Structure 1
Amino acid sequence: MRRLLPAALAAVALLTAVPASAATRDPAPVRQTQAFTGDADADDPAIWVHPRDPERSVVLGTLKKGGLAAFDLSARTLQLVPAGPGGRFNNVDVVGDLAVVSDRGRDRIRVYRIDPAGAAAGAHVLRDVTDPAAPPVFSASESEVDQQRTAYGLAAARDPRTGVRWVAVTRRHETRVALLRLVDRPDGSVGTAPIATVDLPSRFRLPDGSAWSPCEEPGEGPQLEGSVFDGRVLYTAQEDVGIWRIPLTSGGFGRPELLDRVRSFGVPQRWDSATEECVPDGADPGYGGRWLTADAEGLAVANGTLFASSQGDSRFVVYGKHVRDLRIVAGRGTDSVEHSDGSAISTASLGRRFPHGLLVVHDGERHPSPGDEPATGFAFVRLEDVLGR
């Protein structure tokens, strides 16, 4: 595999999300949600844009065992939906008036209908419409669900040609991606039907002819999670490998292409059972990318511009006409963003708060914490502060 250079990455995107000059300073959040602690561990956001009154738009965020949260554009909490027994909500995305969630605990897709009043609906903005007979996404039985190789990363969108509502789901500790479609049931609930699966590599041939696999805990494969649709393309991040671009058809997946690599790609490592961590096991051969420090995490798209979380060093990479990186720094009364998992972008004008669009990112280290335990949350950033205007 040849190393992908910025000139090749320019084919991925054009900076058309906001007017043209590039942002030159690291942006700061203008709003942030409450801090979450304990089992309510923030992870991945999504944005629903109200079709008539953008200021009533809603931001959603998964909280793992804490379920799903809904916020208004001032980042005030509207509703907290519990995950239920055994539930662990990992990723969320929006398609139409539906919020679609990967339940990592039960290997299911959960679906919530968003009230047409949007944020004005307050504590009733989300209603569970999940098909009660929905089968596991990957597991053949409930005993297999208990092994927790379950639904993990998730992206949802409409096929721009057929209108079918797609859901792409990655599998925990595996390299498999499933493509599903949402199905409306006669009772008003929403289920899923499988379309196709694809298995991405766990072992790679390096330019010197040697083979390399990223170091993982024994029995686990190189995990995929952060995912986003852009028309008939799925971008998905393999945490210790890089970012994949997978073309889609109405029948399933095309040939995956490794778009960019993490810096540690090709570096020899081994699992140290004493520390339960991967440790260096040789010199860096120099086959890694320039921009991403593992884990490669949350992905979002703004009119073709790909935005990726470089979680290992708390940066974000913008793949546009020119590839560049940034940090989200502290602002007036808001915290900086560290070790971000998921992100979401809307390019819509959302009223006086976000006239040129909104970027929402997970913050893995909220400060100050409401106590001594670690805290997480979500940060709201004006899109023009990220991409310029």
Structure 2
Amino acid sequence: MRPSRYLTGAALHALLCLPYASPAAAEKFEVTLPIDGRTSLIESDTAAVYYPDSKKSSPFFIGNDGSAEGGFKVWEIYGPQGSPKEVGEYKTGRTKLVEILYDDAGDLLVTLSMSDGLIRVFELGKDGVVGDAKGQKLVRGDFSAICGLKSAEGGYVYVLGKRWGYKFLIREKLSKGRKVKAVEIVETQEFGIPIEPNSCTVSPDGRVFFAGDNGKLFSFLAVEETAPPKVVEVGEPAGGDEIKGLKIYHGKKDTYLFVGLEDGIEVFDIKKLGSSLGTIKFADGDLELNDFAIYQRGSKSHSDGTLIYAGENDDGAFFGASSLSPLFESSKLKVNTKYDPRDCAPKGHSKPKKCAALSDCNGYGYCPNDKKAGTCDCFPGFAGKTCNKITCSDNCTSSSHGKCTGPNTCTCVSPWTGDKCATLAVPAKYETEESGGADGDDPAIWIHPTDKSKSRIITTVKSEVGSGLGVYDLRGKRIGGVSGGEPNNVDVLYGFDLAGRKVDLAVAGCRADDTICIYEITSTGELVDVPGGVQPLPTAVKDLEKKFKVYGSCVYHSPKTGHYHIFINSKSSLYLQFQLSTTSDGKLNTTLVRHFYAGNRGQVEGCVIDDPNSRLFLGEEPYGLWSYPAEPDEPAVGTLVDNTVVDGGKLHADVEGVTLVYGKTKQEGYIVVSCQGYSEYNIYQRYPPHAYVMSFTIPNNDERGVDRVTNTDGITAVGTGLGSEWPYGIVVVHDDVNEAAGGGVRSDATFKILGLKDILGAKVVEKLGLLKGVDEEWDPHN
């Protein structure tokens, strides 16, 4: 991986010649746009508008479908009664990102599916999507922004995610008659970025702007080179609020940057990004904006163009349309309805250099800037003087693991898999029955006090529909559950003294109402309500962070004091530590005893606590795995266990679930971490220096009819023996898209179950003796 290059502050203006204006006292406009039409409910995240080449054709927009069975849909912008008219639906799997590339030989739609990590390319025409351009490429990672630009060779797309980005060249392979036969997708650049962006856009002069949760706006030049771009911080155009979307409005003379926030859109002159020109609001005051697109051409109903947006209100998520006329009538912005995205390519991509002496780099590199160099600057995965050789990172680990059969493409020898054939493939034995909801997360395992084979798996459903906790046996059969307020993570406390009774408790952070949800676990593994089982956050939390939202959670039983604790976090990385007790009348009670911001203040969620060693392990999604003291009277000073690959570590963002397997001593055992973007799991030694052990993933188990794990989130594991079938315990992981036998998917999320012995005791790692580090007699009741 190449290192990233970041610049901040004044360096921006020297590099990009951007005059930065302090907020001006000039009067700003504020306009409210009526919602002229909306689609039916759909899990909407991103939208892209298509400008047909023929002025007689109706304009279209393409919106993603983020549901498990999703893909994308196509709508005519101006349908009956003003609402968009759906004209096409394409089931490519849960899709988050869509973008359009314009080319003289044919316009293309680019999508990225979260379920399989495939970039797909489709042909576009006057009737919308007119065919599959037969172009696909696997891109592994958790990506959240896509933007494209035209070039003389075809088009480029930037795909950006948690602190990492790729640039792909998408060019057409033409048959006679200039019709698209297929497209080739070639990676030309990979680089680090300082944040996880929600959106990106490209300006007419070839600058890529991106922004995300922290409200900061960044930029780099879109030039034809393989070296990482120089990323510069532009500022905080929205005053630090989360930026949901970015789009360029192409004026006749001026260029405007539209910055989407949850409750509206701020408008800036791209030359004066320090001062907002005004604000766009929506007539629906409950609307929460996710993303938007701009169609600049006029129509009878929208003479000055149309704003298309992905949003949601109390009814659910949808795509909406509003006329831009009120904006131009109420502001000094200059309308331009003559814009055509086919007109020109940004600087740096208009006339690619030729180097005949180097065979034009065989199309897989750029000609050297220094004519005396005599060697092409090759794309990732290519090498040689003329880029005529293919290479693979780390050479596919070793010849016994796999062979390099394409640019950065390894063909692995079973049971190895992954980019470098360094990941062990371990099929799951079982999966849980459907959960009743589309979105699960971090599960837990409750160990039966007398018969461990009767232990239970407790899972979460954090989606609004089906929200609550499910209870399953060790083969995935559902035997119970309770409804709850969108619990994200669940954990188990053993032996809590409740009004003179020793009880086990299931504890979760419930996002629906920002509460701590607690249930008693009966001796047979059922969940029942308990007095004080819904604990609201104290008012003091709002003094710490006004917009604190419950997200992840985990629990701790102190060996020092015997007290029980609950950790709750928010996306902002603020951790709250509560002590759990009972009131005089036998009700549960929580008291805030410590708070701190974790890691680099990136988004957090999953956590687990090593009770005997009093250590909290937490995943910071963009940065890595951290360890903190768990005692409330200790300073919250973190130690980085491992970071993500962008910083030279072994974890792939985003770092999600964290679980612990106990050993026979306080020094033995393992930490297991879920990497969502890769659907892989890293294993580390439990005790410092927390050496990396191995990674594994979960493929299809054709013999048992259990599908692979995709876009994984939460994880839990225990090493204690749970009967003859599980002599070294089990691992339970969340599966995002539950693929059905024979094709298609099922709408409800499931969890996969596999034996810890199958991972640590697999033949290819048997000589490492990893099972010796597991305590198969561990019992949390003792």
Q: Normalised by the size of structure 2, how large is the TM-score?
A: 0.38
Closer, same or farther: CA 352–137 of 1 in aligned 2, 3 Å: farther
SS at match of 2:757: helix
**CA deviations over 1:69-88 (Å, ceiling 9, x no partner):** 111112111113112xxx22
Superposed, 1:61-72 pairs within 5 Å as 61-64=459-462, 65=464, 66-72=467-473
The answer for the alignment partner of 1:150 in structure 2 is 549
**CA deviations over 1:46-69 (Å, ceiling 9, x no partner):** 011001011211110110132111
Aligned equivalent of 1:244, options 626, 631, 649: 626
Distance 2:578 2:680 in 1: 32
Q: Check the 8 A contact 1:138/1:151 in 2, yes or no.
A: no
Shift of 1:222: 2.2
Structure 1 residue runs without a partner (length 5+): 1-22, 119-124, 203-220, 265-287
Closer, same or farther: CA 140–230 of 1 in aligned 2, 3 Å: closer
Q: Check the 8 A contact 1:356/1:382 in 2, yes or no.
A: yes
Q: Check the 8 A contact 1:154/1:169 in 2, yes or no.
A: yes
Distance 2:423 2:746 in 1: 35
Distance 1:130 1:32 in 2: 33
Please give the root-mean-square deviation of Cα atoms over the aligned residues, in Å. Answer: 2.5
Letter in 1 for 2:723: G
Aligned equivalent of 1:335, options 707, 731, 735: 707
Aligned equivalent of 2:757, options 361, 384, 387: 384
SS at match of 1:55: helix
The answer for the alignment partner of 1:32 in structure 2 is 431
Shift of 1:40: 4.3
Shift of 1:260: 1.3
1:80 aligns with 2:478: no
The answer for the alignment partner of 1:311 in structure 2 is 676
Superposed, 1:1-389 pairs within 5 Å as 25-36=424-435, 39-64=437-462, 65=464, 66-83=467-484, 87-96=485-494, 97-118=504-525, 125-129=526-530, 131=532, 134-136=535-537, 149-171=548-570, 173-202=571-600, 222-231=602-611, 232-264=614-646, 288-303=647-662, 304-320=669-685, 322-331=692-701, 332-368=704-740, 374-388=747-761, 389=771
Distance 2:549 2:531 in 1: 18
Distance 2:584 2:758 in 1: 45
Structure 2 residue runs without a partner (length 5+): 1-421, 495-503, 663-668, 686-690, 762-770, 772-782
Identity of paired residues, percent?
32
Q: Check the 8 A contact 1:244/1:259 in 2, yes or no.
A: yes
Shift of 1:127: 0.6
Closer, same or farther: CA 35–135 of 1 in aligned 2, 3 Å: closer
Distance 1:184 1:55 in 2: 31
Closer, same or farther: CA 89–357 of 1 in aligned 2, 3 Å: same
Shift of 1:371: 7.0
Letter in 1 for 2:446: W
Closer, same or farther: CA 102–251 of 1 in aligned 2, 3 Å: same
Letter in 2 for 1:43: D
Shift of 1:89: 0.9
Closer, same or farther: CA 341–25 of 1 in aligned 2, 3 Å: closer
Shift of 1:374: 4.4
Distance 2:675 2:648 in 1: 12
The answer for the alignment partner of 1:122 in structure 2 is none
Letter in 1 for 2:606: G
Shift of 1:250: 4.5
Distance 1:328 1:152 in 2: 26
Shift of 1:117: 2.1
Closer, same or farther: CA 160–289 of 1 in aligned 2, 3 Å: farther
Q: Check the 8 A contact 1:197/1:253 in 2, yes or no.
A: no
Letter in 1 for 2:514: D
Q: Check the 8 A contact 2:656/2:675 in 1, yes or no.
A: yes
SS at match of 1:34: coil
Closer, same or farther: CA 263–354 of 1 in aligned 2, 3 Å: same
Q: Check the 8 A contact 1:43/1:341 in 2, yes or no.
A: yes
Letter in 2 for 1:325: S
The higher-RCO structure (CA 8 Å, 6+ apart) is 1
Letter in 1 for 2:518: V
Distance 1:308 1:242 in 2: 10
Letter in 1 for 2:428: P
Shift of 1:201: 4.7
Distance 2:698 2:727 in 1: 19
Q: Normalised by the size of structure 1, how large is the TM-score?
A: 0.74
**CA deviations over 1:361-380 (Å, ceiling 9, x no partner):** 11112111897664421111
Distance 2:721 2:433 in 1: 24
After superposing on structure 2, the runs of 4+ consecutive aligned residues of structure 1 that deviate more than 6 Å are none
Q: How many equivalent pairs are there? A: 311
- The structure with the largest alpha-carbon Rg is 2
Shift of 1:247: 1.5
Letter in 2 for 1:69: G
Q: Check the 8 A contact 1:35/1:366 in 2, yes or no.
A: no
Distance 2:458 2:533 in 1: 22
**CA deviations over 1:128-150 (Å, ceiling 9, x no partner):** 21516733167757xx99x5x31
Shift of 1:184: 2.1
